[in-house]
Amino acid sequence: MFNGLGMNMGNLSLLSSGQSRSISPENMTGEKGKGGMATEGTGATCARELGQGWKMSPSVVIGPGQTFELAHIEGSGAIQQIWMTPTGNWRFTILRMYWDDQEQPSVECPVGDFFAMGWGSYSQLSSLAVCVNPGSAFNSYWEMPFRKRARITMENISDDDMVVYYQINYTLTDVPEDSAYFHAQFRRRNPLPYKETFKILDGVKGRGHYVGTYMAWGVNAGGWWGEGEIKFYMDGDKEFPTICGTGTEDYFCGSYNFDVGKEKGGYREFTTPYAGLHQVIRPDGLYQSQQRFGMYRWHVTDPIRFEEELKVDIQALGWHYGSKYIPRQDDIASVAYWYQTLPTAPFPELPVRDVLEVI
């Protein structure tokens, strides 16, 4: 029987026994018939003449150093969509997700990077898995199954209050035996040491499939920066990988430096269902002296499957005048997205705030 998890245009007419639920500041437990009951909250002053049911609690405030539990869901089902619009420094707000009885998070990532906004500024992104809409509307469509419970937390590591409006839409339903658990992991090096490859993901243990990469790439020198190959090592690969790309812009489904020519503006942003260079931050001649790029590649139709282990890295390789490659020492951050069986292997320790900061 159809279980009521993900739907598409081909099965949208099929009925299901799944129960639709939603968590927001207006219904923090997601319980049936419990929405809009707040009598106080961030909207209480504005609704003082209207009363209960009139947008009393549309958002929450998270103080400096505090962790707020956005969602705690008991039972079996799947998160199907997340919308939020957080204020403050997006690198200083840490999103974590926990599945079933695990104390180890399966998702740990600054909120901006999770939604492919690693540079802390808005850029339109229209894809199947993630959409970012004016002016800071973060949307995730990754399906996130759970069998016992799901928890989502948000930690504010800044020195100031931050405000988040959010809605987490999910279904309570049976989860098939072959459904794996959603994972996402953040990494950053600034600068990347000379001739060292950038590790996007390492230490993964279990069976699963890799489904996406986001990269925030800041160039620390002039010239073309994207000759490096991405490599996927799986299930016993040692020195050489099973899957090896041909160049950075090639992996992100572009070509020839993402460059349409000087007369047409050089780098050209693009956003598509599966891949994009959605953000190009150009120097302004004053404080912003280097170019910064945001890129994503979703393996929705071509997941990279592994049986026991997975490692992913990419070279920081530039083009030197004189027809040769040159290793680069750029500012590189990434988010890897994948599904796997539990347990989740421990993640590398998240960098401290000064290392996370975009400078």
Which domain CATH number covers 62?
A: 2.60.120.1390
Please give the residue range of the domain that contains residue 35.
Answer: 19-177
| Residue 8 placed within a domain | no
| Percent of the chain whose pLDDT exceeds 70 | 97
> Would you say residue 289 has pLDDT above 80?
no
User: How many structural domains is the chain composed of?
Assistant: 2
248-274 pLDDT tens trace: 999 999 999 999 888 887 899 999 999
Q: What is the pLDDT of residue 333?
A: 98
Examine the domain organization and report whether 170 and 314 are in the same domain.
Answer: no
The contacts of residue 171 (CB under 8 Å, 6+ apart) are 4, 5, 18, 19, 20, 21, 77, 78, 80
Examine the domain organization and report whether 133 and 270 are in the same domain.
Answer: no
131-156 pLDDT tens trace: 999 999 999 999 999 999 999 999 99
Mean pLDDT (whole number) for 211-232: 95
| pTM, full prediction | 0.96
Examine the domain organization and report whether 169 and 198 are in the same domain.
Answer: no
Residue after which a domain boundary falls, among 126, 152, 177: 177
| Residue 55 placed within a domain | yes
Examine the domain organization and report whether 186 and 330 are in the same domain.
Answer: yes
Examine the domain organization and report whether 138 and 222 are in the same domain.
Answer: no
139 touches 131 (CB < 8 A): yes
| Residue 6 placed within a domain | no
Using alpha carbons only, give the angle 227, 209, 187 rounded to the nearest 5 degrees.
50
Q: What is the pLDDT of residue 4?
A: 60
What is the spatial distance between Cα 256 and Cα 258, in angstroms, rounded to a whole number? 6
Mean pLDDT (whole number) for 275-297: 85
Examine the domain organization and report whether 23 and 172 are in the same domain.
Answer: yes
Residue 97: band (very low, low, confident or very high) from pLDDT cuts 50, 70, 90: very high
Mean pLDDT of the chain: 95
Residue after which a domain boundary falls, among 141, 157, 177: 177
> Would you say residue 239 has pLDDT above 60?
yes
Examine the domain organization and report whether 62 and 151 are in the same domain.
Answer: yes
104-125 pLDDT tens trace: 999 999 999 999 999 999 999 9
Q: What is the pLDDT of residue 3?
A: 59
Q: What is the pLDDT of residue 2?
A: 43
- Radius of gyration over every alpha carbon of the chain, rounded to an integer in angstroms: 21
Examine the domain organization and report whether 168 and 27 are in the same domain.
Answer: yes
18-67 pLDDT tens trace: 999 999 999 999 999 999 999 999 999 999 999 999 999 999 999 999 99
Compute how many other C-beta atoms are within 10 angstroms of the C-beta atom of residue 172.
Answer: 18
Examine the domain organization and report whether 281 and 257 are in the same domain.
Answer: yes
306-316 pLDDT tens trace: 999 999 999 99
> Would you say residue 69 has pLDDT above 70?
yes
- Residue appearing with tokens 């993901």: 201
> Would you say residue 5 has pLDDT above 90?
no
Which amino acid is present at 352? V
> Would you say residue 73 has pLDDT above 50?
yes
Residue after which a domain boundary falls, among 177, 194, 215: 177
Mean pLDDT (whole number) for 286-302: 85
